[in-house]
Structure 1
Amino acid sequence: MAREPSVSDGDRDVGSETRPAEQTTQTTGLLGRRSYMKLAGATTAAAAMFATGSSADEDDYEVIEASGQTINVDNETFENKLIDVSNGNAITVSVGDDATIRNVGVSGLYQGDGFIFSIGGGGEVEFDNVYLGDGANKTGGDHAHGPGAVFYHRNASADVTFRRMNVQGYPNNGFYCSNSANGGAITWIDCYGKNNGVSTFRAASGEDSLHNCVAYNDDTDYSTDYGSWGGYTEDSGRPLWVHSPGGVVAEDCHFAAGSYPSAVLTHDGANATLDGGAISGGTSGAVDTSSAGSDPDLSVPDGVPTSPEEAVSGNEHGGSGSGDDEAVGNGDDEELPNALVFDGNETTNATRYEFEVAGDVEPSSGEDADIDGSLVHGVVADWSEPFRFDGDLEQLTLDGPATVSLDGDEIDPDDYGEEYPHTLEVEGEGEPTSFEVTVDGSIDLESSAAEDDETTTVSGSTVQSSVTDDTVTVEFSGALTDVTIIDGDATVRLDDDVIDSDDYGDHKLLPHALVIDGTEDDDPSEYTFTASGAVVESTYQDATIDDDDVIEAQSVTGDVDGHLDAYWFDGDIEDFTLVGNATVDIQYNVREQ
């Protein structure tokens, strides 16, 4: 049967879930473009000792007996705690900014009021290896739906990752996170839940996602030993419930409705997509199950703790299923020790970066940096890109307004290697040869030998020149993205190694030109356009190549302020928007192909 929400999305306080006043400060999440990640360089201070009961050895875990207390976790790590609620008392863990909850087990049937974990902060919040599988009942409060496991407040603004969690038998929601519609993003990875009364997974934002998770209903009775509730079986909750605005994707997840009419439901015009996995028991609302099977695997995903003791011991090999970590990063892998974060500082201007380390390197998020062994280069704008590595940071260049931090401390790129670490040489073979070179970075205009050659034009990140029996040398940072031999033959060397120019860029001479001219207007003009074919920035008609102009596939965003921008393109201009008074000229078949 249909159920009403346990608390409204207006964030009505329930019992002791109200966040203490001293924790109301919020911060903006650092990594705005990421789908899910572990924040590089996060502070991991040891949690304070809150227990009123006994404590295990220092290297083991601490036992905390519930006594109605509130534990505040803000900018720190709360880990290796066994929370004993078998005495029937309540406890609230209030989760603030940039907090980590790790290796925590709740032991005993919970009979308190409200939610055990209450998230009200911002930044990066992570739950990892947490057990709340002993269930709860309503004896501790008078709310219709009783206590829940995890609540995300309406005024929260955090990017939350739940990894390897086991949540069962809560009359209220297991994960009440539909307030993500008001800010933040929620990611579940390798999580397991069943028999949670209103819902197990409750989501809303288009940034919310689930990966290799399981939720279902069966006839498990979590409160047989407590006759005052008696015979309670919560077998009619929603495994996945998506609220407006929706757009939630569940990847390789498995859901079963049990006695409830639907396994996945949407509310108030929201939509959801199952990408792989399987579902039984039907759906309600706008749910795309076209790529999901019909025989869900309801076993516990690998790594999920199956008891409080397993969670607090830090056991990363619990569970009984065959979870697939490859799509989201294996939480069981040993983390590389050093953290490097490029922060775009919420600016729309692009910053190009390159770095090289002495050991292994891997991204902490799913972004599109190019990694070649221990060498990495990429672009960051109004987001941040984090990496982890081992060994020394040997080389670092930064071209733009972004900042970079190493293990939480901002650093100066000039302290790491050469400013222009790469050398490109184009050597003539006795006949006049024209060429064009583009880098995704910066060219050294002062020390480059190309600057002394009258036949050479250096504009932004592009060099155009010609050679006969001499050599043009260019020093640069970033990546070599294009080498075009327009006519003739030449030998091209990159860092002393001979390269094939055909291995770099799109070498078809694009036939058409698009020119945006801002030289006759005192005010800046902004433009965006999309071509049906390839597009590259050009110095045609003495145009300026501006590092702030951004090309993504066939789409371009840029601006002119007293100067001229030009592009070579193929096909047609499918869409063009201009804000300002610059003139726009499209010239077809300007050069032969």
Structure 2
Amino acid sequence: MTTNEESGSDSDERTLVGRRSYMKAAASAVTLGVAGAGSAAAAGEDYDVIEVPAGQTHTISLGSGDTLENTLIDISARNAKFQISARGSGWEVRNLGIRGNWDETTKAEPFIVSGDGVIDNYYFADGATGDSYPNGPTGIYVANAHSGTIRINNVNIQDMPDNAIYGSSPGDLSSHPSGGGGGGDVIITNSYAADCVASSFRVGTDGSRVENCVSVGSDCGFWAFYNSPKVVDCDFSDSNLGDIRVGDGHWRDDARPRLENVRYETEHVHSGSIDGSSAGSPQRTSPEEVEGVPLSAEEAASGGGSGGVSPSPPSNGDEPDEDGEDDEELEGHLLAFVTDPSARNAEYEFTAEGAVELAEADYESPSGRSIGANGNDSVEESDGTARVSGLTGGGYGDAFRVAGPVTSIDIDQPDVMWVELDGEEMSVEEVIEATSDDDSDNGDEDESEESDHLLAFVTDADARYAEYEFTAEGAVELAEADYESPSGGSIGGNGNDTIEESDGTYRVSGLTGGGYGDAFRVSGPVTSIDIDQPDVMWVELDGEELSVEEVIDATSGDDGDEDDENDENDENEDDSEDQPSNALVIDATETGESARYRFEVSGSVEKASYQDATIDDGDSVDSTAVEGSVDGSKDAYWFSGNITDFWLNGDALVDVEYDAR
């Protein structure tokens, strides 16, 4: 650990002292008994005070294994500042308080961190003179090169002219002036931030998380700058630019934060989307309401914090009846996620068809710990499908009662977590197989779903706003794939996707990018697909990459509802009265130009030589859908019924004649 004080370009002698001993050796430190620190007292403990002289900067550098603890840095003198850097692995900053207003109005990052470390019980909330970006300090800045895991707990940061916790740089793109970020994670828990410019909590990697935190009055409470960080059990309110902010207007890189039991009022999406929605009005607005958050510099230095209140857990339907009796236990299997004692923040997700409830196992883990779900676990239900996520560790476990088939399970740390069904340890595949016959209420539906397909549109990591359209005969629903894209992004439909139905024909459009994908469950033939950027997007059917033609061919026999009608048409195909008599002509002979087209009809359709049209093998007729092109030529088709969809791009004349033969 290295320390010094600087004044302008002059600096005092730099002193290198032993690890875990710095504060007792600092020449400017004044040791105070905590008993004399008022409400900050933690009986029997001392903390050290570093009084920074006017115009000077007190510098502390931590490396691997170093610890800074039980310290108060006083910057009350004019233009007094501090500079802390922590890099490497195993470093710790605990019980640190900053007393006094930061009155220097140039941009500064006084607390820079990277690697694997912990910040616990930190107070930097006496404010800063600068009131707009970039006229002052950032609360905590995570370096661009950070590639490990930094855990930030029980911090109180207020009135910063920059972000309270600026943790998105590890997710920087390769085009960023600092270069591509190191991809490290930032875990922020049980913390409070208020009245900061830009944001209170800003992160940008998939493994980053903000949990049980409160923000009030900043430009935004939570900012998912890149990727898909998670937010759990938080309250964000009174933000100037949105309590939840997604992506960035400059880099235009999609972000998709995952929300669980987050209470907020406003949102601002630059690029990307939000996975989840507000759980209601914010309940907490002050640092006293977050357990363990220090309320003064003295309290932080002494290791004290607020009493706090617990956030409301997400509603899961397990509340007791009015007479005080619990609802009857859901019938089905007991599904449990159990951990080794060494596990920390081990996450999992699973989906199931049918009801899912939080449960308590009547046995303990091998470590002697309880196995039962809690408020950190989220159960979301949509159209009969339950999606569950949670985290546990330390030898404990989470448990659920599942009434129907478990369809997917994802365990983040399989080396320290496993899954059990009715008390028996099983593989993921064994659990899915063992529960596959449990949906007795939907037996007929299951039988009909055997012909359903998962249709997915997947992108490369560098794709931006990649659009697509498709049409299908039969129901289409948003879906979640149980696998990830090659870039590690999730594949699932969202609010940016549009599904329109008319006379049994479904037309779907959407856009995605950044290595993510959109997914749909289709129950009938896919009749057309149009991909706007085929160099960065492709289509998959049931997890297999196929060409557009292969998807259309593979699904062409799926429209079981029309089997009888098709059989009847086959029997009468020679009857002249069943021949289509309406004509559609696309004519580019007069314009001499080229055009692409596609259309669909409600009856039958076939190529024709009507009006001396040429029959082109390159034009596609699939059931009721047609796709083709003309280049100074003419195409014609016989059809029955009506034209239900038509699209033309180019310069050609279109003529429709009914009863033309």
Q: What TM-score comes out, normalization by structure 1 length?
A: 0.45
Q: Which has the higher contact order (CA 8 A, sep 6+)?
A: 1
Higher helix share: 2
Q: What TM-score comes out, normalization by structure 2 length?
A: 0.41
- Larger CA Rg, structure 1 vs 2: 2
